[in-house]
Amino acid sequence: MDKLWKLRLWGLGFAALICAVDQYIKWVVRVQLELNQPPGVYEILPFFDLRWTRNFGISLGMFEATSVEMRWGLVLGTALIAGVVFVWMLREKAKGDIFGLSLILGGALGNIYDRYTWGYVIDYADLHFGEFRPFLIFNVADAAITIGVLIILARSFLVPDKGAKKADKDETPDELPAES
């Protein structure tokens, strides 16, 4: 097995780890802390609580599933997106991109599992400063997806494309425009 495939397999393993950690923490919140029962809040710090929330939508609560058909549509849609990320990861050559994609895939799998099992995604991490909340209530999967997307975006804007540089060097003199 070549080095690139080992890296991709590492990425898949990391995605599985992200999904497992996400599900474990959701289990702790639901079963051990019983936050799915009133009052549903466990204060950790003055600015950070564990707060039981059921998210029937996707990112930022958009596209809320108000019927069984919409629920399964969201499961199917997010599974298709996860499938695209999976294929992309298997084709990717850059270590940083594989890492970002593994975060996205692991987070997506954690949230897909919730939606499939419960009909909603369990959110619990509540960062707040008084009444001000810079983020909606989220979970490990959401954080992994967000960080993964930011890594992919940052790398696409900040890391030069090696393929374009190689193509520039490979041009022969007769391909260059004639000077007048």
Q: Tell me, what's the pLDDT at 164?
A: 54
Alpha-carbon Rg for the chain in angstroms: 21
Q: Tell me, what's the pLDDT at 163?
A: 59
Write the CA distances from 171 to 21, 68, 162, 165, 174, integer angstroms.
49, 57, 15, 10, 8
pLDDT tens, position by position, 80-95:
999 999 999 999 999 9
Q: Tell me, what's the pLDDT at 174?
A: 47
Q: How many CA atoms lie within 13 A of 20 on its CB side?
A: 6
Low-confidence residues of the chain: pLDDT under 70: 59-62, 162-180
Q: 22, 49, 123, 126: which is the annotated catalytic residue? A: 123
Question: Does 49 participate in catalysis according to the annotation?
Answer: no
Closest CA relative to residue 100, chosen from 40, 49, 149: 149
Q: How many CA atoms lie within 13 A of 162 on its CB side?
A: 3
Query: Based on the number of CB atoms within 10 Å of its own CB, is 141 exposed (0-12), middle (13-18) or buried (19 or more)?
Result: buried
Q: Tell me, what's the pLDDT at 172?
A: 47
pTM (2 d.p.) = 0.84
Q: 49, 142, 161, 170: which is the annotated catalytic residue? A: 142
Question: Does 170 participate in catalysis according to the annotation?
Answer: no
